[in-house]
Amino acid sequence: MRRRFDVMPSMPEGDRRRPDRDRRSPEGDRRERPSRARGPLPRRSQLLVGLLCATLGFALAVQVHTTRSTPSLAAARPEDLVSILDDLTARGDRLRAEADSLTATRDRLTAGGQESTAALDEARQRADTLGILAGTVPATGAGIVLTITDPQASVRSDVLLDTMEELRDAGAEAMSVSGVRVVTSTYFLDRDGGVEVDGRLLRPPYVFLVIGDPRTLAAALDIPGGVLDTVRRRPGASAAVEQQPQVDVTALRALVTPRYARPAAAESGSIG
């Protein structure tokens, strides 16, 4: 119990003297401790200490990572949490659908052995799908036509950007705005008398051709405070949605190969 006085912050003296006193400790002690520290094989208790330290380091890293990656939902209201849960369910469904189709494809490809016709067929189909997404081939299917008329040019790029995000969220699979095919990298910038989309100046009216489930798409645009509300609140602007059994998205886009980004090894990169 003496220790307590030795380590008072105001008294470094006692502290420094302390080890000397310990070194003068009786024989029994001295015989034991050095062997512990210098023995060629670590003792079991030392291993235990090491194990605990490793556990601590592990827990520390895990905790830091968890704190960073867990969404901060402390402030979320129950209604928001419910809608987030819905979104996560949708995410799970999408991922499962993707996983199922990928598994089927992989099995078909590996079952065919060296037969290249099966692989060729699969590749063609895949190229079609990817081409629709990348805008290199035309697409057709059920969908909607959204027309935004805006004689006073009061609808700015932010509204169009929001529209695109809302439509993507509602499951749009192919889309074009007034003849410009929408792809991953599509952007909207404000310009005099119109909006620049991927380098082309568009003037109103803006016509979105969208392929996807028509009812879902229309409902997404029509929510209170949603795209239609926003457009109608701009002076002179109006918006109309038509659900159609067939929409043809014919605008095309050349494939751009990245010049600076290179394929990286997949993070969980077991291939084969």
Partner 1 sequence: MIPAIALVLGVALGLVFQPGVPLWLQPYLPIAVVAALDALFGAVRAQLDGIFDDKVFVISFVANVLVAALVVFLGDQLGVGSQLSTGVVVVLGIRIFSNAAAIRRHAFHA
Partner 2 sequence: MTSAPGDRATAGRNRSMSLLDELTVNALDPGYQQTVDRRVSGAGTADQPGGRRDHPRRYPRRRRGLLVAGLLVAGLLLATAAAQARSRAPASAQVRSSLAADVAARTRDTDALQSQVAQLRAQVAAARARGLAATRSGTAMAEQVAALEEANGGTPLRGPGLRVTLADATLPTPDPLAATKRPSALPGDAGRIADRDVQDVVNALWAAGAEAISVGGQRLTPQTAIRAAGQAILVDFRPLSPPYDVIALGEQSQLGNRFGDSPTARRFRTYAATYGIGFTIRSERALTVPVGAGPPLRAARPPAPAP
Give the nearest distance from C-beta 47 to partner 1 in angstroms.
7
Smallest gap from residue 57 Cβ to partner 1 (A): 3
* Structure tokens given for 124: 């063609």
Interatomic CA distance for residues 271 and 242, integer angstroms: 45
Q: Check if the beta carbon of residue 225 is closer than 8 Å to that of residue 115.
A: no
- CB contact at 8 A, 247 and 140: yes
Q: Give the nearer residue to partner 1 in terms of CB position, either 88 or 240.
A: 88
Closest to partner 1 by CB, 17 vs 106, is 17
CA gap 133, 174 in Å, rounded? 6
Question: Mutual orientation of helices 78-111 and 116-134 as an angle, nearest 10°?
Answer: 150
Pick the closer one to partner 2 by CB: 27 or 235: 27
With binding defined as CB under 8 A, does residue 150 bind partner 2? no
If one asks whether residue 45 binds partner 2 (CB under 8 A), the answer comes out as no
Q: From partner 2, partner 1, none, which one binds at residue 109 (CB under 5 to 8 Å depending on kind)?
A: partner 2
The minimum distance between CB 15 and partner 1, in angstroms, equals: 6
Kind and range of the H or E run holding 162: helix 157-169
**Residue 256, both tokens:** 């751009």
Our finding on whether 221 is near partner 2 (CB under 8 A) is no
**15-74 positions binding partner 1, by CB under 8 A:** 15-16, 18-19, 22-23, 36, 42-43, 45-63, 65-67
For residue 205, cis peptide bond before it (omega within 30 degrees of 0): yes
**How do strand 238-249 and strand 139-149 relate by DSSP bridges?**
antiparallel
Site for partner 2 in 91-110 (CB under 8 A): 91-92, 94-99, 101-103, 105-106, 109-110
Site string for partner 1, 124-153 (x = CB under 8 A): ------------------------------
Closest to 109 in 3D by CA, of 95, 125, 87: 125
Contact set with partner 1 (CB under 8 A)? 3, 7, 9, 12, 15-16, 18-19, 22-23, 36, 42-43, 45-63, 65-67
